[in-house]
Amino acid sequence: MRRPGISDALFVTAMLTATLIGVFFFAWRVAGLPFVVFDTFDWLTRLLPGRLIAFGIATMVTVIRLLNLGPISSTAKMAEQAMAIAVLFISGVVGGLVLFLILRAFRKGHGVIAGLALGVVLGIPTMLIGLHGSGTASVGRAAGAIWVLGAFLVWGVVLGRAQQRLISLEKTDDAAADLGVKRIDRRRFLVQFGGATAVITVAGAVVGELAEARRREAVMMAGGEAMRWSATHPLPNANAAVQPAPGTRLEFTPLERHYRIDINTTLPNIDERQWRLRIAGLVETPLTLTLQDLQLYEPMHQFVTLSCISNPVGGDLIGTTRWTGVSLQRLLPDLRLKTGATHLKIRSADQFFEVVSLDAIQADPRIMLTYSWDGVPLKQEHGYPLRIYIPDIHGMKQPKWIESIEAIDRWEPGYWVQRGWNEVAQMHATSVIDTVGVDMTIIGADRRKLVPIGGIAHAGARGISKVEVQVDGGPWQQAELRTPLSQLTWVIWKYDWPFQSGKHTFTVRCYEGNGASQIAKPSPAAPNGATGLNSRSMTL
Ligand SMILES: Nc1nc2c(c(=O)[nH]1)N[C@H]1C(S)=C(S)[C@@H](COP(=O)(O)O)O[C@H]1N2
Ligand SMILES: [Mo]
C-alpha cells in the first residue's frame, strides 16, 4: 500500500489557500468586504514591540537602498503587502498540512468535518480581528464577520474533501487493486483541482485589480494635474539668482512623487459624504464640522518640507509641496475649550494618534489643519480629507486622515512615541548631494572646467545659513544657496567644483539659521532620526 504523498497534499493546500486569498481580494475590491490578509497583518504589527518594528523598518530601508529597488516608501509598502499575504498563506498551508496528517493517520474519512474544524480554528480569530477593527472593509461589521468566517469554513470543507479524496485515491483495496488506474485518477484529480483553483485565483486577482484601477482613475480625474496650483503658478522663488545644478531633485515635489509612510498595509476607507471632524472632550459642547465648515475660514498656504524620521541620510523619505488649510490658532476660539484643557488629542481613521499642546498652538499660527496639497484636495495616500501640519518636527507626529480632536488636560505619548521613538521628533539639520554633474561641466571665468555639484539642505523650520562642500578631505568650500520656497522648506545649494580627473569623494555639510552646524556623527534613524554627513565617491 502506497502512502498518499505529502507533496500532493501540499499542492492542493497551497492552491486552495491562494484561491482563498484571491477571493478575499476580489470581494474587497468589488464589494468592500474586509481583506483579512491586510487586517490581520496590521493587527499583528500593532501588537509587536516597537523595537522590533523599528528594526524591521530599518532593515527594509537598508535592503531597498542596497539593492536599489526604487523609492523607499512605495517599495516598503509593497514588501509589507507581500509579507501580509505570506503570513496568511503560510498559516493556511501549515493548517492544511496538519489536517492532512491527521486525516491520513486516522483514515476514517471524516474529511469534511475535520476541514470544517480547521476553518473554525483559523476563521474565528481572523473574524475577531476584523470585528475589532478592519482597516479595509467598507461594509458593516456583521456582514464582514459573516463573510470572513463563511469563507474560511468553505475553504476548510473543500480542503478536507480534497485531502480525503487524495487519501482514498491512494488506498489500494486488496484484490481490486489496479495501481495504474489509481495513479491516473490521482493525476486527473490534481490537474482538475489545480486548474480550477488557478482559474479562480487569477480571475479574482485580475477583476479585483481592474476594479481598483477604475476607482483610482476616477480619483485622478477629480484631482487632475491641470487643477493643481503648480500647473498655473510660478514658484515664489522662480527669479532667484542661483539656479539648481542640473540633476538636483525637483524643488517642488510632484504629488505622485511625494513619499508616503503610514502604519497600515493599505489606505483607510473614508466616505467623503459621511466624514466629519468631531471635537469632544473638555469642550463646552461637542462639535462636528464638515470639510466645508473648515474651508469657510481664511485659508492659509505654506510651502513645507516634510520628512520621515526613518529617512536615512540622503534618503528619499522627504518632500516639498504647498499645503493649504486653516490655522489651528484661528480655529481654537470656536472650539470653546474648557479652562482645564491643555492638549488636543488628534485621532485618525487608522487608529494613529498624536497629542499637541495648546501652548504650542497659541505660540505658532503655522500649525494648521490641512485639506489641500498643491491646490487640490489631499490625495487619499496623503491623508484625505484632513491632516495636521506642525512645523519643525517629523511626520511621525503629524496625523493624516484626522477624524476627531479631543481636548484633554495632560500630555500623552502619541502612536510612535509609545513605541519608543523620540518624544519631540525635531528634524535634524541635514544636507544631501543630489548630483555631481560630470557630464554638465561649464567653463569658468578663468577658462577652467567646472563641475556643478548640487543638492538640498534642510533644518526643519530653523532655516539654513550655510552649506559647505569638501573634496577628498580638503578644505571646506562654501556653496551658493538658492532662495528657498519658504522658511519651512529645504534649500537648494550649488557648488561649481574645478574639475580634476581621478577618484574623488565629495562630502556636504550645512549650518542651521542660527549658525549651529549639522551633526556630523553618524547615527541610525531609530529612535531620534538619522544624523551624519552625506558623501559620494566617483571616478572622473
Ligand atoms: N493617520 C496617520 N497619519 C500619519 C501616519 C500614519 O501612519 N497614520 N504616519 C506619519 C508618518 S510616520 C509620516 S512620515 C507622515 C508621512 O506623510 P505622507 O505619507 O503624506 O508623506 O505621515 C504621518 N501621519
Ligand atoms: Mo514617518
Cα separation, 412 vs 423, whole angstroms: 10
Torsion, Cα 491 496 502 504, to 10 degrees, reads: -30
Q: Do residues 306 and 527 touch, judged by C-beta distance below 8 A?
A: no
Q: Name the residue of 57, 262, 355, 374 to mutate for ligand 1: max ligand atoms within 8 A of Cβ.
A: 262
> Residue 529: nearest ligand to its CA?
2
E strand spans, 267-308: 277-281, 287-289, 300-307
Q: Where are the alpha helices (DSSP H) in 32-71?
A: 36-47, 50-66
Q: Give the residue whose CA is nearest to atom 5 of ligand 1.
A: 262
Q: Give the residue whose CA is nearest to atom 6 of ligand 1.
A: 262
Cα(72) to ligand 1 centroid in Å equals 14
Residue 368 has pLDDT above 50, yes or no: yes
CB contact burial 511-532 (16+ within 10 A = b; e otherwise): bbeeeeebbeeeebbbbbbbbb
**Using a 6 Å cutoff on CB, does residue 262 contact ligand 1?**
yes
**Using a 6 Å cutoff on CB, does residue 308 contact ligand 1?**
yes
Rounded to two decimals, the pTM is 0.91
Q: Give the residue whose CA is nearest to atom 24 of ligand 1.
A: 399
> Residue 397: nearest ligand to its CA?
1
pLDDT given for residue 177 in this prediction: 56
Q: Which helix (H) or strand (E) holds 458?
A: strand 449-458
pLDDT given for residue 223 in this prediction: 61
> Residue 373: nearest ligand to its CA?
1
Please report the DSSP string for 80-107 in residue order: HHHHHHHHHHHHHHHHHHHHHHHHHHH-
Q: Which domains does the chain have, with CATH numbers?
A: 6-219 (no CATH), 258-408 (3.90.420.10), 430-539 (2.60.40.650)
pLDDT given for residue 312 in this prediction: 96
Residue 175 has pLDDT above 60, yes or no: no
Torsion, Cα 363 370 512 257, to 10 degrees, reads: 170
Q: Do residues 343 and 358 touch, judged by C-beta distance below 8 A?
A: yes
Per-residue pLDDT reduced to its tens digit, 28-40: 999 999 999 999 9
pLDDT given for residue 455 in this prediction: 98
Residue 176 has pLDDT above 70, yes or no: no
**Using a 6 Å cutoff on CB, does residue 396 contact ligand 1?**
yes
**Using a 6 Å cutoff on CB, does residue 398 contact ligand 1?**
yes
Residue 178 has pLDDT above 70, yes or no: no
Instruction: Report the atom number in ligand 1 closest to the C-alpha of 383.
Output: 20
Reported confidence tier of residue 179, pLDDT bands at 50, 70, 90: low
Reported confidence tier of residue 339, pLDDT bands at 50, 70, 90: very high
β-strand 442-443 against 430-436: which pairing, if any?
Answer: unpaired
Q: Hey, what's the cell of 403?
A: 477624524
**Using a 6 Å cutoff on CB, does residue 401 contact ligand 1?**
yes
pLDDT given for residue 3 in this prediction: 62
Instruction: Report the atom number in ligand 1 closest to the C-alpha of 260.
Output: 19
Cα separation, 146 vs 312, whole angstroms: 44
Q: State the average pLDDT for the chain.
A: 94
Cα(208) to ligand 1 centroid in Å equals 26
pLDDT given for residue 174 in this prediction: 41
* 89 or 135: which leads in pLDDT: 89
**Using a 6 Å cutoff on CB, does residue 421 contact ligand 1?**
no
Looking at the chain, the whole-number percentage of residues with pLDDT higher than 70 is 96
Residue 2 has pLDDT above 60, yes or no: no
Q: Do residues 391 and 488 touch, judged by C-beta distance below 8 A?
A: yes
Number of H helices, E strands in the chain: 12, 19
Per-residue pLDDT reduced to its tens digit, 373-405: 999 999 999 999 999 999 999 999 999 999 999
pLDDT given for residue 99 in this prediction: 96
Per-residue pLDDT reduced to its tens digit, 45-62: 999 999 999 999 999 999
> Residue 268: nearest ligand to its CA?
1
Q: Give the residue whose CA is nearest to atom 19 of ligand 1.
A: 260
Per-residue pLDDT reduced to its tens digit, 281-334: 999 999 999 999 999 999 999 999 999 999 999 999 999 999 999 999 999 999
Residue 1 has pLDDT above 50, yes or no: no
> Residue 403: nearest ligand to its CA?
1
Amino acid at 109: G
Instruction: Report the atom number in ligand 1 closest to the C-alpha of 261.
Output: 19
Q: Do residues 526 and 421 touch, judged by C-beta distance below 8 A?
A: yes
Cα separation, 255 vs 320, whole angstroms: 9
Strand-pair partners of 510: 467
**Using a 6 Å cutoff on CB, does residue 379 contact ligand 1?**
no
**Using a 6 Å cutoff on CB, does residue 80 contact ligand 1?**
no
Q: Do residues 57 and 65 touch, judged by C-beta distance below 8 A?
A: no
Residues in the chain, overall count? 540
**Using a 6 Å cutoff on CB, does residue 352 contact ligand 1?**
yes
Q: Hey, what's the cell of 189?
A: 484529480
pLDDT given for residue 357 in this prediction: 98
**Using a 6 Å cutoff on CB, does residue 310 contact ligand 1?**
no
> Residue 71: nearest ligand to its CA?
1
Per-residue pLDDT reduced to its tens digit, 214-257: 887 877 776 667 789 999 999 999 999 999 999 999 999 999 99
CB contact burial 385-403 (16+ within 10 A = b; e otherwise): bbbbbbbebbbbbbbbbbb
Residue 157 has pLDDT above 90, yes or no: yes
Indicate left, alpha or beta for 331 from its phi (over 0: left) and psi (-120 to 50: alpha): alpha
Reported confidence tier of residue 172, pLDDT bands at 50, 70, 90: low
Cα separation, 263 vs 244, whole angstroms: 35
Reported confidence tier of residue 180, pLDDT bands at 50, 70, 90: low
Indicate left, alpha or beta for 488 from its phi (over 0: left) and psi (-120 to 50: alpha): alpha
Q: Give the residue whose CA is nearest to atom 12 of ligand 1.
A: 396
**Using a 6 Å cutoff on CB, does residue 267 contact ligand 1?**
no
pLDDT given for residue 173 in this prediction: 47
Q: Name the residue of 400, 402, 403, 419 to mutate for ligand 1: max ligand atoms within 8 A of Cβ.
A: 400
> Cell numbers 483607510 correspond to what residue?
268
Please report the DSSP string for 143-211 in residue order: HHHHHHHHHHHHHHHHHHHHHHHHHHHH---GGG--HHHHHHHHHHHHHHHHHHHHHHHHHHHHHHHHH
